[in-house]
Protein backbone atom coordinates (compact mmCIF):
# COMPACT_ATOMS: atom_id res chain seq x y z
CA UNK A 1 0.00 0.00 0.00
CA UNK A 2 3.01 2.27 -0.21
CA UNK A 3 2.04 4.27 -3.31
CA UNK A 4 -1.74 4.02 -3.21
CA UNK A 5 -3.96 6.93 -2.16
CA UNK A 6 -6.44 4.60 -0.54
CA UNK A 7 -5.67 1.78 1.83
CA UNK A 8 -7.34 -1.16 3.45
CA UNK A 9 -8.61 -0.99 6.98
CA UNK A 10 -9.24 -3.73 9.50
CA UNK A 11 -12.48 -4.49 11.31
CA UNK A 12 -11.93 -6.33 14.59
CA UNK A 13 -14.61 -8.60 16.05
CA UNK A 14 -13.69 -9.98 19.47
CA UNK A 15 -15.68 -11.42 22.35
CA UNK A 16 -15.78 -9.29 25.46
CA UNK A 17 -14.19 -11.99 27.62
CA UNK A 18 -11.05 -11.86 25.42
CA UNK A 19 -10.89 -8.09 24.92
CA UNK A 20 -8.05 -7.29 27.31
CA UNK A 21 -5.64 -4.47 26.56
CA UNK A 22 -2.86 -6.97 25.92
CA UNK A 23 -4.92 -8.92 23.36
CA UNK A 24 -6.10 -5.76 21.59
CA UNK A 25 -2.54 -4.44 21.47
CA UNK A 26 -1.40 -7.71 19.87
CA UNK A 27 -4.15 -7.51 17.25
CA UNK A 28 -3.34 -3.90 16.34
CA UNK A 29 0.41 -4.51 16.24
CA UNK A 30 -0.07 -7.55 14.00
CA UNK A 31 -2.26 -5.53 11.62
CA UNK A 32 0.36 -2.76 11.55
CA UNK A 33 3.16 -5.26 10.83
CA UNK A 34 1.12 -6.61 7.92
CA UNK A 35 0.94 -3.09 6.49
CA UNK A 36 -2.63 -2.26 7.42
CA UNK A 37 -2.85 1.53 7.65
CA UNK A 38 -5.90 1.80 9.87
CA UNK A 39 -8.58 0.00 11.80
CA UNK A 40 -12.17 1.00 11.42
CA UNK A 41 -14.39 -0.86 13.87
CA UNK A 42 -13.86 -2.68 17.13
CA UNK A 43 -16.95 -4.75 17.80
CA UNK A 44 -17.86 -7.41 20.31
CA UNK A 45 -20.16 -9.17 17.83
CA UNK A 46 -20.42 -9.48 14.08
CA UNK A 47 -23.25 -7.54 12.40
CA UNK A 48 -25.04 -10.83 11.69
CA UNK A 49 -24.96 -11.83 15.37
CA UNK A 50 -26.25 -8.43 16.46
CA UNK A 51 -29.11 -8.63 13.96
CA UNK A 52 -30.06 -12.13 15.16
CA UNK A 53 -30.12 -10.98 18.79
CA UNK A 54 -32.01 -7.72 18.22
CA UNK A 55 -35.74 -7.91 18.93
CA UNK A 56 -38.09 -6.59 16.29
CA UNK A 57 -39.58 -3.62 18.14
CA UNK A 58 -40.91 -1.72 15.15
CA UNK A 59 -44.59 -0.87 15.43
CA UNK A 60 -45.98 -2.38 12.23
CA UNK A 61 -49.22 -0.39 12.57
CA UNK A 62 -47.27 2.75 11.59
CA UNK A 63 -46.43 1.36 8.15
CA UNK A 64 -48.40 2.53 5.15
CA UNK A 65 -50.77 0.06 3.51
CA UNK A 66 -48.35 -0.49 0.61
CA UNK A 67 -45.50 -1.42 2.95
CA UNK A 68 -47.45 -4.02 4.93
The answer to the question of residue 68 being in a domain is no
The answer to the question of residue 57 being in a domain is no
Amino acid 18: pLDDT: 76
The answer to the question of residue 64 being in a domain is no
CA angle, corner 67, sides to 64 and 68, nearest 5?
A: 90
Confidence of residue 10 (pLDDT cuts 50, 70, 90): confident
The answer to the question of residue 24 being in a domain is yes
Residue 14 CB partners (closer than 8 Å, separation 6+): 23, 24, 27, 42, 43, 44
For the chain, the average pLDDT equals 74
Confidence of residue 12 (pLDDT cuts 50, 70, 90): confident
Residue range(s) defining the domain that contains residue 37: 1-47
The answer to the question of residue 67 being in a domain is no
* Domains contained in the chain, number: 1
pLDDT tens by residue, 22-52: 988 898 899 889 888 787 777 776 666 666 6
Strand blocks (E) in 1-68: 9-13, 38-43
The answer to the question of residue 28 being in a domain is yes
Amino acid sequence: QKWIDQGQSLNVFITLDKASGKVLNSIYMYAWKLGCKSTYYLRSQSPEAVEENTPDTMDRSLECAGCQ
